[in-house]
Structure 1
């Protein structure tokens, strides 16, 4: 009956790197690493490890030292159920055994539990802390600059709104002045024409009154048979009939016969119809 990987007490750790689940049959005290038969034999042959202290399966438990501080517990972001135990120096990538098999099979891989001892006292640790401190200072400088920039933006905005408002007031004041001038011209024209109409009415009223008076006197002198006076009044009436007063009054009235209209300034109308007639927002390179 086949034995599953779950039934193993210990697995060969070098073989785990290449995703092979092989039961451990020995242990290297120096490497603190479980080995299968093939890796155990290979460990004895190569120059770098042939002098290591190797023990068989029965004595593995006596020599295995489990350092909790060297254990890896961080879960892999890609393979959620696996723990990160390896680092690829070539690609500067952390990964679990699945990552190593899939993406870094040909790379020279660091096994983290072997490499992490004393990492807190290393130059790399100190250098990273120094660089992190430097980054924190850089971030804080940017935060201060951002706060300053926020105040500058508020000031710039307030100044811009003030300029827009002042410009609008100048336009309004100028338009009010121009409107007042036109209205003054309109009022003057109205007054002049109404005065002309009034004069025509007065003239025509006087003419009418004079004619009626002459008619009355002609009738009275005829009735009283005062022929001498009748003759004089009759000749005066005929002379009056030749007068141009009525025609002149009519001509004066005709001059007032016009419709007032307002012609808008076409240039101003065209300008206001443009998109940026009032102005536009201009951006400079910096505050």
Structure 2
């Protein structure tokens, strides 16, 4: 019954789009609740795919047709007006306050006793009595314990039981090796049956000895994080705005010296300038958003890795890093490509020199948008 209750609780607090705990929960008229950013992006992406402003949309869960309460407003405006689910927000806060760690040994005996100690070697919680019994056993008398009260569980939200050392193929075995050829965790059976011919196969025990200090893998994350922060810290957007403003002023000053024909050309030019500015600003901001999201993702990874290194086992740290590396592989490649080819934007304007031939002029000049590349950021 306890397990069922936990599953039901997780479902209530989980966003059906991102499958994570709800953040700023917003409800649709069909009563399904989602993270505000998730439902906002879902509706806006639906509108972008349609190519025009939509009159209605479907709930991502039940597919019920939902009509905006104020269809005359811009889509982003009425999405922001979706009602906040304060009931879910309140339950989330209450759930956080009531969470306590139970003793795993007592739980297997169908008892519910709060744990006081955490065994880093076993990755299990113990009450005082079970901890004492655990320390008396020859096989576990040297295990290292920490006070559960000293573990900042809410800081990272880490559940060490989810970083399992059970073999993903043979559930009765634990992982003991890692195959770098196939990038897979292996138990003894996996090594014997599937990785006999692999060249780069190492025992996790040997590998984890190198994780006592931050290794080169952590250093690579730090470099990417540093590079992305350099872009975010630069006042590139303000410089871009000043560039466009400078071009506009230059053109207006030039046009003011010649009236009739230049007045009509000025209108055409400013329209072209604003169009290019809008497109460039959109591309520029989307790249900055990508870098900012990557930076936040890296910060989360470093924060969680530090937490596991402090309170988890070396095997769990290794497993966490390998899983994270595989999950973020494509994002790292995209980030490297972005940082390699983008550190800012240069806007140039070439003014026509033959202003004497006013009646024959067809344009005032050309606008060029050039992205600066800074190799030092991506080295």
Give the TM-score of the pair, scaled to structure 1: 0.29
Greater RCO structure (CA 8 Å; 6+ sep):
2
Structure holding more helix per residue = 1
Please tell me whether Structure 1 or Structure 2 has the larger radius of gyration of its CA atoms: 1
Give the TM-score of the pair, scaled to structure 2: 0.23
